[in-house]
Amino acid sequence: MNKELDLLLINPGAHERVYGVLSKISGIEPPLWCALIAGFIREKGYKVKIIDAEAENLSPKQTACKISEYDPILTGIIVLGSNPSASSTPKMTAAGEILIELRKISPRTKTFLGGLHPSAIPERTLVEECVDFICQGEGFYTIHQLLDLLYDNLYSNEKIEEYKINGLWYKKDGRVISNPPAQLIKNLDELPFAAWDLLPMEKYRTHNWHCFNNIDNRGNYGIIYTSLGCPFNCRYCNIHALYDDRPSIRYRSPERVIEEIDLLVKNYKIKNLKIFDELFALKEDRVINICDLIIERGYDLNIWAYARADTINEKMLKKMKHAGINWLAYGFESASIEVRKGVSKRFEQYKIKKAVDMTHLVGINIIGNFMFGLPDDNFDTMQETLNMAKDLNLEYINFYTAMAYPGSKLYEDALIEKIKLPEKWHGYSQYGEETLPLSTRYLSAGEILNFRDNAFNEYFSNPNYLKNIEKKFGNKVVKHVADMLKNKIKRKI
């Protein structure tokens, strides 16, 4: 037996299910975690490929057929989106369908599931899905050791009885076997660059709002990370399930970050860039250091990143704008300080307006993230949130509904309180037909979803918003927003 491929990594295609009618205008982002794992395993001497079923628009059956054709030693489906805490679980339906199709045509193919959702509920995932292994956590060491073991056993007729690999879950004689968590990568600079050459880089496009300054040029899109993890612990977020449930953050050196930006710009002509970090605008000195390195090179980049109202200052914002960070995403969540406190999102009310004013003062646009249906929300607090969003008059907003994503504290609470959760994993998507938000003691899931959809239309058809957009970006973007509203989201509830 001579295998031509050792590891095949899959980014499951779930774009239309996750975004519904908005899939036509939503972004298609490079699967960073697939590329990171591929780069790490390839450096160990193994032959690796990636199938981005989302970018290639492949169905589960088509994806399974491609896997069968490659016939690798090990196939891994990475269930982790570009917005980790919100776009992992909705992709699980597609991941499961790929595994079912693969089992039909290639039952001996060894498979694993990795990423945020499988890490959050590994035992359930292993029991419910047609999969051999669950790689819990980041996966770097776990996948490498699993591949070593399978490779060494390739020419042996002996059955592997035990997989003593940290981070690995598997079944033996019908029993679920778990191992201790794998160690996290301590020094991120030791990680090789993401394997961008294994991805169809020409197929990625950034979000519509990110290119309001040049709405017809959404391509040449890349992602860079400068840190992994988050020091905060919001109850609606499940990101810590990927990092051994610890609120912590690890940093790459600015020098390593700029090396990879150099590669993306020179090799792939990247113009639009996302900083992947859960929270980039956190430590002033390193933010300024990274920005200075970008400024020194004279790159004319269009960058967006995540920030918090209580972590930015004027000096940091000025430097970010100078480096080409034209958009910052703020998680304001709610206008009610009590509602925010209920999900451990604590900052004083005045800091929201202060952050918006400071950001606009330096010329950075804002995408505001708001959430309806948090545990302490009622109709009045949701209306307050909508009113605040309209008063702030931000360049773009995301109105989300609260979801009990597996791995989050809200999920644990929902199980205890027996709150109805989506029957299928794609029911956790925000824009899909089967979306089912978390109900509260005051509001049903249908009431929250209806409020959210009406609020979305009200915000983007608001004359004050359209006047602001026309002034900043021109009539073309106003028309784009009007066309966006023509896409009516279908809901079952």
Per-residue pLDDT band for 421 (boundaries 50, 70, 90) equals very high
Query: Which residues pair with residue 333 across a beta bridge?
Result: 370
Q: Tokens in use for 91?
A: 């992709």
Could you report the per-residue pLDDT of 198-217, keeping only the tens digit for each? Answer: 999 999 999 999 999 999 99
Q: What is the mean pLDDT of residues 42-48?
A: 98
252 has a pLDDT exceeding 90:
yes
Percent pLDDT > 90 in the chain is: 90
290-322 b/e (C-beta count within 10 Å ≥ 16 → b): bbebbeeeebebbbbbbbbbebbeeebbbbbbe
Q: Tokens in use for 22?
A: 């908005």
Domain 205-402+437-485: assigned CATH number: 3.80.30.20
Report the distance separating Cα 49 and Cα 383, nearest Å.
48
Q: Which residues contact 309 (CB under 8 A, 6 or more apart)?
A: 330, 332, 347, 351, 352, 354, 355
How many residues comprise the chain?
Answer: 493
Single out the residue of 185, 151, 183, 182 nearest to residue 169, CA to CA.
Answer: 182
Return the top range by mean pLDDT from 20-29, 34-43, 243-252. Answer: 34-43
Q: What is the mean pLDDT of residues 437-465?
A: 97
Q: What is the mean pLDDT of residues 295-307?
A: 97
Task: State residue 25's pLDDT score.
Answer: 80
482 has a pLDDT exceeding 80:
yes
Percent pLDDT > 70 in the chain is: 98
Q: What is the mean pLDDT of residues 167-186?
A: 96
1 has a pLDDT exceeding 50:
no
Q: Which parts of 246-302 fold into alpha helices (H)?
A: 254-268, 284-297
Q: Specify the CATH class of 7-178 in words.
A: alpha beta
443 has a pLDDT exceeding 50:
yes
Report the distance separating Cα 11 and Cα 198, nearest Å.
12
Q: What is the mean pLDDT of residues 374-397?
A: 98
Instruction: List C-alpha distances in Å: 19 to 26, 333, 354, 400, 491.
Output: 7, 20, 32, 12, 12
Could you report the per-residue pLDDT of 64-103, keeping only the tens digit for each? Answer: 999 999 999 999 999 997 665 556 999 999 999 999 999 9
Q: What is the mean pLDDT of residues 295-309?
A: 97
Which secondary-structure segment (H or E) carries 11?
Answer: strand 7-11
Q: Where are the domains of the chain?
A: 7-178, 205-402+437-485
Task: State residue 85's pLDDT score.
Answer: 53
Q: Tokens in use for 415?
A: 């199980």
Mean per-residue pLDDT over the chain, rounded: 95
Q: Tokens in use for 160?
A: 């592997």
Report the distance separating Cα 433 and Cα 430, nearest Å.
9
Could you report the per-residue pLDDT of 111-169, keeping only the tens digit for each? Answer: 999 999 999 999 999 999 999 999 999 999 999 999 999 999 988 878 898 999 999 99
Task: State residue 83's pLDDT score.
Answer: 66
- What DSSP string runs through 201-213? GGG-B--TGGGGG
15 has a pLDDT exceeding 80:
no
Report the distance separating Cα 238 and Cα 79, nearest Å.
13
Instruction: List C-alpha distances in Å: 206 to 23, 279, 284, 426, 436.
Output: 12, 19, 27, 22, 27
